[in-house]
Structure formats: structure tokens, C-alpha cells
Amino acid sequence: MLRIEDLWKSYGNEEVLRGVSLEVDRGDVEVLVGPSGSGKSTLLRCLNRLTEVDSGHVYLGETEVTGPDTDPNAIRQQIGMVFQDINLFTHLTARQNITLGLRKVRGQSKAEARRRADSELDRVGLLAQAGSYPAQLSGGQKQRVGIARALAMDPEVMLFDEPTSALDPELSNEVLEVMSQLVAEGMTMVVVTHEMRFARGGATGITFLDEGKVIEHGPPDQIFDDPERERTARFFQSIR
């Protein structure tokens, strides 16, 4: 479903991605781990054209995401993204944050957009907060609205970039529960997270990235318990 071929990306003299390749099948939950600065966020951003690659290719099914004629806005509907920083519009309610894109991008009627927004809010357990403004919501609730907003666009793949790192443990849990529910629904996901419990329970594959390279990739049990590379073992010891 998602094919990443030999991605290279530099900022100035710094090579941030150095030949990253990865395949994600439909229904896969690929968890990316690696030290700070290893290129995890850059890689995710290249997958939906928030960042342009220097060379290499990304394919979503038959579509070349990185193709010069591909519309990044169309890609961003098909590949939804949830960031660490919760980027809701503060002057809009939870529901309005979701209907905005449905009306502007999808051209849905007010009633249609509202129905869809409420159904997505219900999916993340926040229908009762539909009329609340971001300031009235907890960090975990805001993050769940962000997830609902991405889901409303019917994405084929969801990208998560450390969605819980800014949250207290109990608020993290409510976000992780929503993510686990998406896993159970068969959503294809690429997730950057330090939540190893989620990774163990939900991931179909773990990719360990260091200095812009895939050091190791495999099923969770192998990568966590029996990594082939010493560098991988050291990383997991350091975060334990």
C-alpha cells in the first residue's frame, strides 16, 4: 500500500535521511523508533509531502506521492497525519474543526459535514464535547479531535508523530486507546512513538532508524527481544 524507496533528504550540509526504504501493507501498523534527531519526523513528513525529498520515491498504491504532477493536497487527504503539537483552530469548536475541511476541501453541505463530524467524534468518544472549544478540552481530548479530523477525510493511511509525548500518562492512555481501536479496525498506520507497550501490542512491524538509516526492521518480538544489530539492542536498553 505504501512503498518507500531510497529516500534522501538533507538540510544544508546535514543528511537527515540517507537511503530509507520501507514497505507498509494494507492493515499494517509500522512503528518507527530511534533516537532524537534520527529523522523519524522528517520521514513521516516526506510521506505526505509536508517535506519534499531530495531523491527517492514514495508510492501510495499506484500513485507516486513524490511525483511532480501529484497534488500534495490530495495526498494529505489520503494520508492523514496527527502531530505531537495539537494544532486545532482555537476559535472553532471541536465539531467546527472537523467540518471545516469537509466543507472546504470536500464541498460537503453543512448538514452532511456535521453528520460526518459527529460520527467521527463519536468514534473517538467525544460526541458530548462537539460544541466545546479547544481551551475547554484536555490535551488528550484535543489530540482525539485531531485524530477524528484526519479520519473524517477517509484516509487510506494514518501517520502519527509522537501523538502522546506532550501528554500526562493518563491522558496518553485515552489517546493510545483510540489508536488501538483503529488498529483493531484494520487501519494502515505508521506511528512514531516511545510507547513500547503500544508498539508491542499493536505493531505488525518495528523499524529502528538511526542517523537517517533503517538499521533494522522486523516483527516486534524479534526487534525488542532478539535484535540482530548491537545498535538496536543498545537503544532499547537506553529507553527501558
User: Any contact of residue 38 with Mg ion (CB under 5 A)?
Assistant: no
- Pick what 172 binds: Mg ion, ligand ADP, none; C-beta below 5 to 8 Å, kind-dependent: none
Binding to ligand ADP (CB under 6 A) within 5-24 occurs at: 11, 14, 16
- Pick what 11 binds: Mg ion, ligand ADP, none; C-beta below 5 to 8 Å, kind-dependent: ligand ADP
The stretch among 40-48, 72-80, 199-207, 220-228 that binds ligand ADP (CB under 6 A) is: 40-48
3-state secondary structure 152-214: CCCCCEEEEECCCCCCCHHHHHHHHHHHHHHHHCCCEEEEECCCHHHHHHHCCEEEEEECCEE
User: Any contact of residue 39 with ligand ADP (CB under 6 A)?
Assistant: yes
| Three-class DSSP category at 217 | strand
Interface with Mg ion (CB under 5 A), residue from 38, 41, 97, 129: 41
Cβ atoms of 5 and 67 within 8 Å: the answer is no
Closest to Mg ion by CB, 71 vs 85, is 85
- Pick what 89 binds: Mg ion, ligand ADP, none; C-beta below 5 to 8 Å, kind-dependent: none
The stretch among 29-37, 54-62, 80-88, 116-124 that binds ligand ADP (CB under 6 A) is: 29-37
Cβ atoms of 58 and 32 within 8 Å: the answer is no
* C-alpha distances in Å from residue 100, one per residue of 4, 79, 108: 31, 18, 10
The stretch among 38-46, 58-66, 77-85, 103-111 that binds ligand ADP (CB under 6 A) is: 38-46
| Three-class DSSP category at 103 | helix
User: Any contact of residue 36 with ligand ADP (CB under 6 A)?
Assistant: yes
Classify 19 in phi/psi space as left (phi over 0), alpha (psi -120 to 50) or beta: left
Tell me which residues touch ligand ADP (CB under 6 A): 11, 14, 16, 34, 36-42
